[in-house]
Structure 1
């Protein structure tokens, strides 16, 4: 099984040619990003081909660019998912990452949305991972587990950092719900969250070792599951975010770490862990 590590465009500055060149030169397999604007589209396609980058595109149901507030109407979420997913499919991404539906929708409306989303996913023939995200239908382990049990073809992008924040815990009491979530994960956002936020100041700091250890245990289980079912590859994005998500110093608003550096460091750490786990798995077969 191959590991594909993606760089999120989130928080990067400069024109697309500058950003994509930097991503390619750093050795990433691809870029994960929202859809480019219509004006940027042709140039963006040329650059993806020029730098030979795989592509994961975001869609945001209920809105065009993750602007808030987004509406509660299930029809608005279905319509925007269809519009954005069909446009995204023309870029031939290897996966779509979707911020899907709304936490305050009724369960029947959520089911309606995801049933339509699965139908469209099959039509465009591109895998869709519905991200475990605050404010969305997948905002807790139990809300997500219920959907996954009722919809066998539903898959997720696992970003459990959000769940740690929403549940104000390291999910010690969610073993059963985590088990089904891990088995339905098709893409990983390897960001470390904790009880009070979706992003620790620095995952390398000793005071957050407990949170890193717990996230790495979940990622280990995801890798093992994909190995067991013979997946061709596993995609991972070290999706640490810029200020807003990233902690800053009071008054100066200076970020406490460098965004590019911390994403790269997590990618390298994940790669080393992945290689070690795969080697151990091969040895155990002998």
Structure 2
């Protein structure tokens, strides 16, 4: 199984598109994961991706009329020819019937545009727990996910020891991995290499390995992964100074190298 590593622009807001993309290319990533740029910046963004020979994974989200927002944002993403689209979809507070209505619409829109969409397992969104996600996946066979199980650790206040059946369903429907390590009280450990979080790291790696094995067994030659650690807000900070406890670029790069060594 080949793994293709992408770098998120999240946490790189101080860079111009050119500087960020050049830095990502120099670090050996296969592509960039980012929200769809504003229309006036899309041509520049597309030219930079071509110049540096990087693929693109688009990130979109929904709000308001979620169906209309999804279609409009997918249309915008399609203009940049992404490898796939990650969507922060619907809401946790929607009824199951309303969630199903949205995801049936999303699957039809995905088929229309011909771009794979992985709906992210994210807090605040419809797929915020293993069991709600499993119900949705069982009800809609063509529905796929971006696996960010760090959120589920936080929501469930555990390493999901009692969710094996629901996790198995998620493994089989994952098309993209967000390789961030969560723990029972939050979606991001201070540093994944810290020995006090060894159990959390190994558990997440076990989940990622299950996804890769599932995809390999079904004939897929490659899987995309983003080591998606985030800046302060997600990253822990030192009280009073608000200084981040780790260097975000180095954390992501270290995780990327670990993924290469373990799974490539």
Query: Shift of the alpha carbon at 1:230?
Result: 1.2
Structure 1 residues 132-151: Cα deviation after superposition (integer angstroms, max 9, x where no partner): 00000000000000000001
Query: Shift of the alpha carbon at 1:232?
Result: 2.4
* Aligned twin of 1:20: 21
* Aligned twin of 2:9: 9
> SS of the counterpart of 1:144?
helix
Query: Shift of the alpha carbon at 1:37?
Result: 1.2
> SS of the counterpart of 1:120?
helix
Structure 1 residues 196-224: Cα deviation after superposition (integer angstroms, max 9, x where no partner): 00000001111100100110110111111
What is the alpha-carbon root mean square deviation over aligned residues?
A: 0.7
* Aligned twin of 1:238: 227
- TM-score for the superposition, normalised by structure 2: 0.98
Distance in 1 of aligned mates of 2:255 and 2:18: 24
Structure 1 residues 13-37: Cα deviation after superposition (integer angstroms, max 9, x where no partner): 2110000000011110000000111
* Aligned twin of 1:132: 121
- TM-score for the superposition, normalised by structure 1: 0.91
Unaligned runs of 5+ in 1: 63-70, 276-286
The 5 A counterparts of 1:91-240 are 91-240=80-229
Contact 2:235–2:245 at 8 Å: present in 1 too? yes
4+ aligned runs moved over 4 Å, structure 1 = none
Distance in 2 of aligned mates of 1:8 and 1:187: 13
Distance in 2 of aligned mates of 1:41 and 1:126: 18
Equivalenced residues, count: 263
Structure 1 residues 79-106: Cα deviation after superposition (integer angstroms, max 9, x where no partner): 0000000110111100000000000001
Distance in 2 of aligned mates of 1:131 and 1:257: 25
Distance in 2 of aligned mates of 1:41 and 1:220: 35
Unaligned runs of 5+ in 2: none
Contact 2:42–2:80 at 8 Å: present in 1 too? no
> SS of the counterpart of 1:59?
strand
